[in-house]
Structure 1
Amino acid sequence: MKLLVTGGAGFIGSNFVRYMVRKYPEYQIVNVDLMTYAGNLENLKEVEKAPNYKFVQGDIADREFVNGLFEEEKFDFVLNFAAESHVDRSITNPDVFVRTNVQGTQVLLDAAKNIGVKKYLQVSTDEVYGTLGETGYFTEKTPLEPNSPYSASKAGADLLVRAYHETFGLPVNITRCSNNYGPFHFPEKLIPLIIINALNDKELPVYGDGLNVRDWLHVEDHCQAIDLVLHNGRNGEVYNVGGNNERTNIEIVKTILKHLNKPESLIKFVKDRPGHDRRYAIDATKLRTELGWNPKYNFDTGIEQTVNWYLNNQDWWENIISGEYQQYFQKQYGDRLEVE
């Protein structure tokens, strides 16, 4: 089996690549990543020399590049993690999100259709559902009501995936996950930002009143869920993946401060961002009952493991803060765009 993983140098994608390379040594894993600011090949040092892994630098919205790659590799499965994903950045520059998340998905779908892949799996987000009140949960039947340019671009991509299944018979699945956390999380996101700022005794910015609620999912549990959907998901179906760990943002911050023995006086409430969704919560019943998925992390054990990982991997995040991580590809591979 040959798998294409797009966006495999990002947070979730790199965790999935490492998981698959270790679990399925008989599979060939090809990782395509454009290596924008959030792509970090240091995330993949553990597997970069594995015989069943190959990295290719490229843009999923570049049709000529994608078609050539598909013709050469003849993939059995395509898993699309590649996405611009930071909501704040989507507010200031929506164009990039539409190009990568919508146009890139459409280019991949065309290529997958043309060679007849066994399955195309779109890794999406619960943000496509919009926001919840104080009660209720997102199910796979919840209408799509995105509230940011980021989530709108992801919803558009999901609809394209559905359309290619309905119109062309392309075998597909879509997974929609809640907020991920864990090792190798890029420092601009809430949990790593709070950990790193707290370690440096810097202010901890919290939007609005800090009472926005998210359902937190450990990235390793997410990888296991995607693996199950890839191999056993019913054709054309959507599967929600949630950690069943609802926490307010301020709870998250205070929990991290407690683990690090840092004072709550570091917290600084800042102006809320436009269109900030109040609450997300996932109902993952379908994934549990159909595919037998059960997360191994609860939030207490997961956040402790995550905090300890950042304490023990200071060089990794210091390289990102300094910008040195962006030179890793060049230092390791020179001008070659493909690495086996």
Structure 2
Amino acid sequence: MNSNQPINRYEHLTEFFDSKNVLVTGGFGFVGGHVTKRLVELGANVTVIDINTDVNRDSILNCASMDLRSKILVHEADVVDANAMKEIIHEGRFHFIYHFAAYASVIEKAISAPYDTIMANTMGWVNVLEACRLAPYKPNMIFLSSTDKVYGEMEEDSYSEHSTPLRGIGVYDSAKLAADVFSRTYHEAFGLPTVTLRMCNIYGPYDFNMGYRLLPKAMASIFGSAEPEAPELYFDAIEHHRDYLYVQDLVTAILLLTQQQKCRGDVYNLAAGTYMPTPQMLKTIVEQAAEVEKSYDAERAETIMNNGISIRVRQSGSTVHAITKQHLNGKKIEEATGFTVQADFMDTLRETIQFYREYMRTRDEGC
């Protein structure tokens, strides 16, 4: 299977990360896996923590064609376990720590397990910070992956880091907001070199969260069965607007933040690649899936287009409350690091859809 190559406009990153000791929590997940892959390519000594490190788990780190797993040190551990975090971080003598471990990345899952969400998404981060505070060898940077959801409903044209109030009210939103606040607290009170990035919706290959996330869920509908099915859109999402960024651009942004010492103790919005209504995004996914399918099966491609999108009403009594519009102002990160979006939206969307089509056809063989 042809994997997307990282966007490497910054050749000096290789020298910067070569032979550095790096920890990635949640490394078997979508973003953590891509960050791990890039760090390995840059010559870093990477240790990965995840609550599920099974060799049969769908993850970029388990893809035999890439042989990434043999190039990293793997710890199966829960970030909620403070003692485990302390032991791993004290022994690892890490230069950089990247924290992606989370219980839930979608509001539907978080609302069904609020306590677990808060423990993992807030206290998991606190456990990492505490381990770093007590460690004899202090990391040079401790990175938190936060979210645009900490802002709550958008009232202006976009969210700005220091002028938009933090008003996240959902379980997932609030748990991430608390972690976000503790980043600043541990920097101000204890001098830890934290960096917080408030992220938008990330797309790209090897995202296997097909139960909830928009693109992989749509791919499961379109390519996961003998006959393509129409991807679902909740009725209450018709008015939603979201930012979208290709995963390789995100990885570059994270590594540039790592490199800039002046970014320690600060918080940044991720610059978006594309901002559009959710129905338009799903419609574009369907159209591009049909285009990809045309070169294989014209009749199936026509079925994909004819199916369109299925509008679904949430079950009565649902307590899910989604933010209507989310759009990040990314000027601050651009000024601090020089980061700009490089990926072409339509090209990378088609490449991602191509990945899922092949994956769905050969998933029993692994990637």
Query: CA separation of 1:62/1:224 partners in 2, compared to 1, >3 Å: closer, same or farther?
Result: same
Instruction: Map residues 33-52 of structure 1 onto 2, 5 A cutoff.
Output: 33-35=50-52, 40=57, 42-44=59-61, 45=63, 46-51=66-71
CA-to-aligned-CA distance 1:109-157 (integer Å, 9 cap, x gap) = 0011112221111111111111224x51111112211131111100011
The correspondence of residues 97-246 of structure 1 with structure 2, limited to 5 A, is 97-115=117-135, 116-133=138-155, 136-141=157-162, 142-185=164-207, 186-188=209-211, 189-199=213-223, 200=225, 201-209=228-236, 210-232=238-260, 233-246=262-275
Q: CA deviation at 1:313?
A: 2.2
Q: Is the 8 A contact 2:288 2:350 kept in 1?
A: yes
Paired with 1:181 and 1:40, the residues of 2 have a C-alpha distance of: 20
Distance in 1 separating the partners of 2:176 and 2:349: 27
Matched residue type, 2:357: L
What are the residue-to-residue correspondences of 1:314-325 with 2, within 5 Å?
314=360, 318=363
Residue 127 of structure 1 contacts residue 151 of structure 1 at CA under 8 Å; is this kept in 2? yes
**Aligned partners of 2:59 and 2:206 also within 8 Å:** no
Cα 1:20/1:71, change in 2 over 3 Å? same
Contact 1:212 1:279 (C-alpha < 8 Å) held by counterparts: yes
Counterpart of 1:334 in structure 2 is none
CA–CA distance in structure 2, aligned partners of residues 29 and 202 of structure 1: 40
Aligned to 1:5: 24
Report if aligned partners of 1:257, 1:264 keep a CA contact under 8 Å in 2. no
Aligned residue for 2:283, secondary structure, equals: helix
5+ unaligned residues in a row in structure 1: which ranges?
329-340
Whole-Å Cα distance in 2 between the matches of residues 74 and 257 of structure 1? 47
Aligned amino acid, residue 271 of structure 1: V
Partner deviation per Cα, 1:36-63 (whole Å, 9 max, x = no partner): 89x9464113243554x21111111111
8 Å contact from structure 1 (residues 5, 29) kept in 2: yes
In structure 1, the partner of 2:99 is: 80
- Between the aligned partners of 2:53 and 2:116, the Cα distance in structure 1 is 11
Which of residues 252, 257, 260 in structure 1 aligns to 2:281? 252
Aligned equivalents of 1:123, 1:74: Cα separation in 2: 21
Choose 8-17 or 294-303, whichever is displaced more: 294-303
Identify the residue that residue 322 of structure 2 maps to in structure 1: 276
Aligned partner of residue 263 in structure 2, secondary structure: coil
Say if 2:33 is the partner of 1:14. yes
Identify if the C-alpha distance between structure 1 residues 93 and 292 changes in structure 2 by more than 3 Å, giving closer, same or farther.
Answer: same
Name which of structure 1's ranges 40-49 and 236-245 shifts more when overlaid on structure 2: 40-49
Query: CA–CA distance in 2 between the matches of 1:109 and 1:264?
Result: 51
TM-score (structure 2 length as normaliser): 0.81
Unpaired runs of 5+ residues, structure 2, are 1-19, 291-303
> Aligned residue for 1:28?
45
In structure 2, the residue matched to 1:332 is: none
How many Å apart are 1:71 and its aligned residue? 2.3
Name the structure 2 match of 1:333: none
Could you tell me how far apart the structure 2 residues matched to 1:308 and 1:149 are? 34
RMSD: 2.2
Tell me which amino acid in the other structure corresponds to 1:187: M
Query: Which residue does the alignment assign to 2:301?
Result: none
| C-alpha distance in 1 between matches for 2:232 and 2:111 | 18
Secondary structure (helix, strand or coil) at the match of 2:169 reads coil
Supply the distance in 2 between the matched residues of 1:126 and 1:74 (Cα, whole angstroms): 31
Per the alignment, in what secondary structure is the counterpart of residue 340 of structure 2? Answer: coil
SS at match of 2:264: coil
State how far apart, in whole Å, the 1-side matches of 2:250 and 2:171 are: 24
Query: Alignment partner of 2:251: what SS?
Result: helix
CA distance in 1, matches of 2:59, 2:199: 25
How big is the shift at 1:17? 0.5
Alpha-carbon shift at residue 278 of structure 1 (Å): 0.4
CA distance in 2 between partners of 1:303 and 1:238 (Å) = 28
Aligned residue-pair number: 316
Q: Which moved more, 1:10-19 or 1:141-150?
A: 141-150
Query: Is the Cα contact below 8 Å between 2:283 and 2:308 reproduced in 1?
Result: no
CA contact (8 A) 1:48 1:54 kept: no
Shift of 1:176: 0.8
Point out the more displaced range, 97-106 or 115-124: 115-124
Aligned AA (2:349): I
The C-alpha deviation readout for 1:53-78, integer Å capped at 9, x for no partner, is 21111111111211111222121211
Q: Which moved more, 1:66-75 or 1:101-110?
A: 66-75
What residue in structure 1 maps to residue 309 of structure 2? 267
Residue 293 of structure 1: aligned partner: 339
C-alpha contact (below 8 Å) 2:24/2:32 kept by paired residues: yes
